Structure 1
Amino acid sequence: MNSSTPLQSTSILEELSERLVNYAKKEVIFQPFSLDNHLYMIHSGKIKLYKNSEDGRKTILIVLGEGEIFSNIPSFSLDEEGVYAETIDPTILHVLSHKQVESMKGTHSLTVTELYSTLNQQMKMRNLFIERIMYTPVKERILFLLSFLMKRFGEKQGNLIKINVHLTHQDIASFIGSTRETVTSLTKELIKEGYIQKINRNYHMVKGTDLS
């Protein structure tokens, strides 16, 4: 269910990348004002991009999985500044330097166009998600978030769809603009009402409860 980088871009990035880098779970890949700028493609694992607000709260922007790209190169980044990238699981990344990306503009112009298109789709997807949850009750936001992630990282298991992203209550709160305490209370209600289940740290949606 995961949407990934176009096949041509994927194969060329794998070919051009001189580095395959292993990251541990919850390891920061880059942060604002990092001196080194790179383009990354996820070989395996998952990452989240997020920002910190002035009051110290974390706002998760998006979760990305295998085959998808992200970057802190200004012309290839999801946002201009203030973005952190952190692994959710143990993750392996293809890493291209800023210099390599610049050289691609002359040697692989079609690939660069596809990369821009992919990043633009990520931005549109994120904006649609934000618009959808902006004025809805928190309980509905939780269901919509799980539906959103289910479409991208879901695995059918009988009458359930497992969401293959480990989410804490704080993670959910950071995604939907709520508090951990509220999310804890409302997820318990949703489980009691039969909309979702939590099995071995993963949320599962009952078929027919998709809100996306």
Structure 2
Amino acid sequence: MNSATLRSNPFMEDLSGRLVNYSNKEVIYQPFSLSKNLYMIQSGKIKLYKNSEDGRKTILIVLGEGEFFSNIPHFSLDDDGVYAEAIDTAVVRVISNKQVERIGVTHQPTLTELYSALNQHMKQRSIFLERIMFAPVKERILHLMTFLMPRFGEMKGNYMKINVPLTHQDIASFIGSTRETVTSLTKQLISEGHIQKIDKYYHIMKGTDLSFGV
């Protein structure tokens, strides 16, 4: 069950929740936040990440319009330590834990679908990590572009635009590298014609796709 199918469920439409606007880099929740909610992205993009003991950030996933995320136990991407942060600006529908519990009482199939949609994020992340585990950093960068294509790709001539603004540090945080290494290798990939960067967005050359499917 995917997020698109789930959000079209009439029962989910009855859960009005409240709409909240978030600005660029605004934190939606952090570890040990007392408020536990289910979130549906109305517009914009959200990244989920963790901080390691040495202060390094690891981006877990980027989510877009219509997708769900949560810090409710058993409905979150990871057990603990996860931050949710807006990319650019975002509008998010916030559905309280009590409302989610009500779904379990009045409409159990929807709760099952909801769990399946949220669990899919973990599966996608695991597949991505398996693909890049032993790959050279240069290939990891291309794997990341391909990983983001299904949600955020848009054809622009001979290139696929990735509609997520990515800094060199963002890429490093996704693939387990350093900003300096990513800076050097993205320059190589640009000079070789595999990718372009226009404004804040990367474009990957048609045919460079590493066939990363989830």
TM over 0.5: yes
Alpha-carbon offset, residue 4 of structure 1:
5.4
Structure 2 residue 191 is the aligned partner of structure 1 residue 192: yes
Aligned to 2:177, what secondary structure does the other structure show?
A: coil
Q: Which residue of 2 aligns with 1:45?
A: 44
Distance in 2 (CA, whole Å) between partners of 1:14 and 1:68 is: 14
SS of aligned partner of 1:88: strand
Say whether 1:7 aligns with 2:5.
yes
CA separation in 1, counterparts of 2:133 and 2:114? Answer: 29
Distance 2:133 2:18 in 1: 40
Query: Secondary structure of the equivalent of 1:16?
Result: coil
Cα distance in 2, alignment partners of residues 13 and 31 from structure 1: 25
Please show how residues 149-164 of structure 1 align to structure 2 within 5 Å: 149-164=148-163
Q: Residues of 2 paired with 1:186 and 1:75: CA distance? A: 38
Q: Is the 8 A contact 2:6 2:114 kept in 1?
A: no
Determine the C-alpha separation between the residues in 2 that align with 1:35 and 1:197. 42
Q: Deviations for 1:157-178, whole angstroms, at most 9, x for unmatched residues?
A: 1111110000000000000000
Question: How many residue pairs were aligned?
Answer: 210
Q: 1:27-59 CA distances to partner (integer Å, 9 max, x unpaired)?
A: 100000001100000010000000000000000
Give the CA deviation at 1:25. 1.1
Instruction: For 2:63 and 2:84, locate their aligned partners in 1 and report how far apart those are by CA, in whole Å.
Output: 10
1:17 shift after superposition = 2.3
Give the drift of 1:8: 4.1
Contact 2:45 2:63 in 1 (8 A): yes
- Unaligned runs of 5+ residues in structure 2 are none
Task: Show the counterpart of 2:124.
Answer: 125
Alignment of 1:49-68 (within 5 A): 49-68=48-67
* Whole-angstrom distance in 2 between the partners of 1:155 and 1:117: 27
SS at match of 2:74: helix
| 2: CA distance, partners of 1:14 / 1:186 | 45
Give the aligned partner of residue 31 of structure 1.
30
Q: Which amino acid aligns with 1:110?
A: P
Q: Secondary structure at the residue paired with 2:121?
A: helix
Q: With the length of structure 2 as denominator, give the TM-score of the two structures.
A: 0.95
> 1:177-196 CA distances to partner (integer Å, 9 max, x unpaired)?
00000000000000000100
Backbone CA RMSD of aligned residues: 1.3
Does the 8 A contact of 1:49 with 1:60 survive in 2? Answer: yes
C-alpha distance 101-40 of structure 1, shift in aligned 2 (>3 A): same
- Quote how far apart the aligned CAs of 1:107 are: 1.3
Partner amino acid, structure 1, of 2:181: T
The corresponding residue for 2:169 is 170
Q: Assess, with a 3 A threshold, how the Cα gap between structure 1 residues 4 and 90 changes in structure 2: closer, same or farther.
A: farther
- Secondary structure of 1:17 counterpart: coil
Q: Counterpart of 1:55 in 2: which secondary structure?
A: coil
How many Å apart are 1:106 and its aligned residue? Answer: 1.2
Distance in 2 (alpha carbons) for counterparts of 1:122 and 1:90: 22
User: 5+ residue gaps in structure 1?
Assistant: none
Give the stretch that moved more between structures: 84-93 or 164-173.
Answer: 84-93
**Structure 2 Cα separation of the partners of residues 173 and 4 of structure 1:** 28
- Is 1:111 the counterpart of 2:91 in the alignment? no
